[in-house]
Structure 1
Amino acid sequence: LFDRVTVAVAASAGKAPFFTAQQRLEMLAPNVAQYPNVTLTTFNGLLVEFCMAQKADAIIRGLRALSDFEFEFNMALMNRHLEPRLETLFVMPNEEFSYTSSTLVKQVARYGGDVQKFVPPNVAAALRAAYASARHPPSPA
């Protein structure tokens, strides 16, 4: 669809991510290394301003379920209001993963469940390590 794709990790999202923006970027890197037209970066502030600075033509967003649509639709309309030249494209997941969310994946990982079906192996390993250390903190000396 595009000659180049920039995967932008929000550093200042309204959510409280489990991993820092830099950690998420580092986990993404090996999973897109085979695509020479894909670049990775972080950003702060409004996505639409970041897109304009990058000379992007479009934002690609995933829709898992109808519950995602209202939020994403409103965000796309706001972005269009802020920058009419910027398009938003929605993509749907394989039905097999339509119920999956980062919250559910983290919950499964927190209790030691296998999340490799939902995330790349390096991300599953990072979640496993992070939650294992949280379950078994170092003993006081």
Structure 2
Amino acid sequence: MRLTIHRLEHIPAVHRHHVDIILQGRALPEQAAFYLATFNDRAVALAWREQERLDFIAVRDVTRRRGIGQELLRQIKSDALTAGLTRLNCNPAQAPSAQQADLAAFLTSQGFNTQAGMLSCCLDR
């Protein structure tokens, strides 16, 4: 099977177990644009954004370094651009402290630059 990125308003119950593993104790917001990456019907990555803010992005530790985060971020950027946004911002402090440096390095490798403590990316048409 192939990797599928789902754009959702709510996380389906069938994926809650794996989503809980990805969240590592963090709560889901009531409302956001959720992005759930599945492979073989298992949730392997999750992200959500509110307008130009990428509030959360994480890939399950057992599936990292396989391009899942890159594909997830590509879809988020595309949707943000379609929604008329020109920037996407993310604060690496949203990740657990042990993962903040890795998140910042990943986002930087995907075109984000540091601006006033945030990582920011211009969305190209």
Pairwise same-fold verdict (TM > 0.5) = no
Using structure 1 for the length normalisation, give the TM-score. Answer: 0.29
Bigger proportion of residues as strand: 2
Which structure's CA Rg is the greater one?
A: 1
Using structure 2 for the length normalisation, give the TM-score. Answer: 0.31
Bigger proportion of residues as helix: 1
